[in-house]
Amino acid sequence: MVSQVPSDARQPRGHTGFTGTGSTRDVHVERMGRVTIYKRGRTYYLYYRDRGRTVRRRVDGNLAVARLTASKVTGALEEGRESPLGFERIAPERFVAEFQEYGESVAGLAFRTVDRYKAALRLFQSFAQEHRVSSLDQFTETDVEDFVKWLRRKQRTRNGAAVGKSSPYTLAGIRFILSTCRTAMNWARRHRYLPPYVENPFSRFPMARLRDPAAGSVSETLLSPDQAEAFLRACDAWQRPVFLVLATYGLRVGELTHLLVEDVDLKQNILYIRSKPDLLWSVKTSRERVLPIFPEIKPLFAEAIGDRRAGLVFRTREWVGRDRERPAAFLKDAHAFRRHVVRLREEAQAQGTVDARGIRKVVMDFLRGLGQIPEKRIRQEFMKVSKAIGCPWLTRAHALRHFFASQAQELGMNPLMVQGILGHASLDMTARYTHLSMDAKRQALQEVFRRTDLVGRQQVEGEAGADPDG
């Protein structure tokens, strides 16, 4: 909060900034344009109004420095530019808390995304506390480098669990933490918590150049076409529809687990990948898609749905195997299903003690009761099959999404089409998912080699340059 400067300016200029008893006080020194210089104790301050907001900033230096800074601020204000002091210093703790509040209440991010951001920013806050960074504007690119070194020495459990095996942060994890901090710093700049003349230190840091010498090659985390075929052959009757749909459409795991009967139109052969506001779930990047259902895939959806008119398309093994589902009024059709979910939310809100996360839990418990597959369960099943085909290093079902992107590129699909099917926000993200196989590279190089015919040209040039007399 800005302290009020005394209105009595009759003190002599150059006052020491102390009262007669030795106490500090704000004393007027001089005014330069729209900026007033004050002294408190042995420290100079600038006081002015910027776009309706009162600004009071400390100046590190003597009166000459204060005058020079006041001159620069006055010039910026008169020209309508950002004042070099036109920002509010904020502690890292407050910065983290306000950005989290923005993510939850303003941006409306998914709870899982908010939790990941919180975990990343808690690390930033801990680092700032250990290194005594008292203000956000003090954080520099050198501090980012120290932050990376600090992260490499840290241990963490999977998914932030309270117990379990701990291991160092992966390279992907460190990059996510840095990108989260970069996003949060950009938000801080928009809210004028950073000096306008200082660049975001996380933007300047070359995080793409980070390397992990101990990590395996990219090819060790991807499925080749032969491995994908072996993988699907090794799946049991419950696993195969789940993983085949993931691989065919490049779906995210969460998109498959939230797929509703109403999203599958078997008459028009259309599959809708869309957000579910009633279920408090949204598609990542909000890129909803409409995809065709192939004749080869249609029986999988038909068998998974059966004669049901509402509910989840794919359910846990226990639900499918034992047919535990009982007829219920809210499963008569899609409208009845949604009305029931809304009623559950309203009842939870009426209690008055349940926050947004509590309401989300009510909905999740309801879906679990209908047999929704936990994303962790799909990963466990994926790892079982990967181990069975001799590829234990394949641990994420997300590899099927990368597999789709790579195969689509190799088959010559328009990158914009790949982006649209995957629901990526940019082509840059699509490029990150594309990994060309050796066969694709060989075929492309052979085509270039054949069209340029470099060997044939060299032979012709050699014959033309030869001595006809030998």
Residue 31's DSSP bridge partners are 36
Q: Is 157 a member of any domain?
A: yes
Per-residue pLDDT band at 460 (split at 50, 70, 90): low
Split at pLDDT 50, 70, 90, the class of 12 is: very low
Q: What letters, b where the CB count within 10 A reaches 16 and e where it falls short, cover 268-306?
A: eeebebbbbebbbbbbeeeeebebebeeebeebbeebbe
**Residue 429 covered by a domain:** no
Does 236 lie in the same domain as 207? no
Residue 39 lies in a domain: yes
Question: Residue 372: which domain range?
Answer: 220-382
- Tokens 């270039």 — which residue? 448
Amino acid 105: pLDDT: 81
- Kindly report which listed range (55-64, 115-124, 222-231) carries the lowest average pLDDT score: 55-64
Residues 181 and 269 in one domain: no
395: DSSP letter: -
Rounded to whole angstroms, how far apart are CA atoms 321 and 174?
A: 41
Confidence of residue 3 (pLDDT cuts 50, 70, 90): very low
Q: Are residues 224 and 336 in the same domain?
A: yes
Q: What is the pLDDT of residues 127-175, one digit of tens each?
A: 999 999 998 988 988 999 999 999 999 887 765 555 667 788 888 889 9
Do residues 386 and 392 lie in contact, with contact meaning Cβ atoms separated by under 8 Å?
Answer: yes
Show the tokens assigned to 375.
Answer: 């994303």
Residue 468 lies in a domain: no
Query: Cα(136)–Cα(127) distance, rounded to whole angstroms?
Result: 12
Q: 224 and 202, same structural domain?
A: no
Residue 409 in any domain: the answer is no
The answer to whether residues 363 and 227 belong to one domain is: yes
- The yes-or-no verdict on residue 461 having pLDDT over 70 is no
The last residue of one of the domains, among 86, 107, 131, is 86
Residue 158 belongs to a domain? yes
- Retrieve residue 15's tokens: 């006052």
Domain assignment of residue 431, yes or no:
no
Q: Does residue 131 share a domain with residue 9?
A: no
Asked which of 74-78, 213-217, 408-412 is least confident by mean pLDDT, the reply is 213-217
Our count of domains for the chain comes to 3
Amino acid (1-letter code) at residue 452: T
CA distance 323 to 318: 8
Q: Does some domain include residue 465?
A: no
Q: What is the spatial distance between Cα 150 and Cα 144, in angstroms, rounded to a whole number?
A: 10
Residues 44 and 162 in one domain: no
Is 262 within 8 Å of 334 (Cβ atoms)? yes
Q: Return the higher-pLDDT residue of 325 and 406.
A: 406
CATH code for the domain in which residue 292 is found: 1.10.443
- The confidence score (pLDDT) of residue 4 equals 44
**Which has the higher per-residue pLDDT, 273 or 206?**
273
In this structure, the answer to whether residues 230 and 264 fall within a common structural domain is yes
CATH of the domain at 137: 1.10.150.130
**pLDDT value of residue 387:** 95
Cα–Cα distance, 391 to 395 (Å, whole number): 9
Continuous H helices in 191-297: 201-204, 225-234, 239-249, 253-257
Q: Tell me the HSE value of 351 on the side-chain side, using a 13 A CA sphere.
A: 12
Q: For residues 31 and 37, what is the distance between their CA atoms, to the nearest angstrom?
A: 6
Domain boundary among 188, 215, 242: 215
Summary mean pLDDT of the chain: 83
Taking only the tens place, the pLDDT of each residue in 41-96 is: 888 888 888 777 788 888 877 888 889 888 888 888 887 777 766 677 889 999 99
Per-residue model confidence as pLDDT tens digits over 227-270: 999 999 999 999 999 999 999 999 999 999 999 999 999 999 99
pLDDT at 14: 46
Same domain membership, residue 357 and residue 261: yes
| Higher-scoring residue by pLDDT: 207, 157 | 207
Domain boundary among 86, 108, 137: 86
Tokens describing residue 281 = 């779930």
Domain match, 352 and 261 both: yes
Query: In terms of domains, do 343 and 303 share one?
Result: yes
HEC-encoded secondary structure of 125-192: HHHHHHCCCCCHHHCCHHHHHHHHHHHHCCEEEHHHCCCCCEEECCHHHHHHHHHHHHHHHHHHHHCC
Query: What's the average model confidence in pLDDT over 6-26?
Result: 56
Same domain, residue pair 71 and 172? no
pLDDT at 107 over 60: yes
The answer to whether residue 441 scores a pLDDT higher than 90 is no
Quote the tokens at residue 296: 């080869």
Q: What is the pLDDT of residue 466?
A: 56
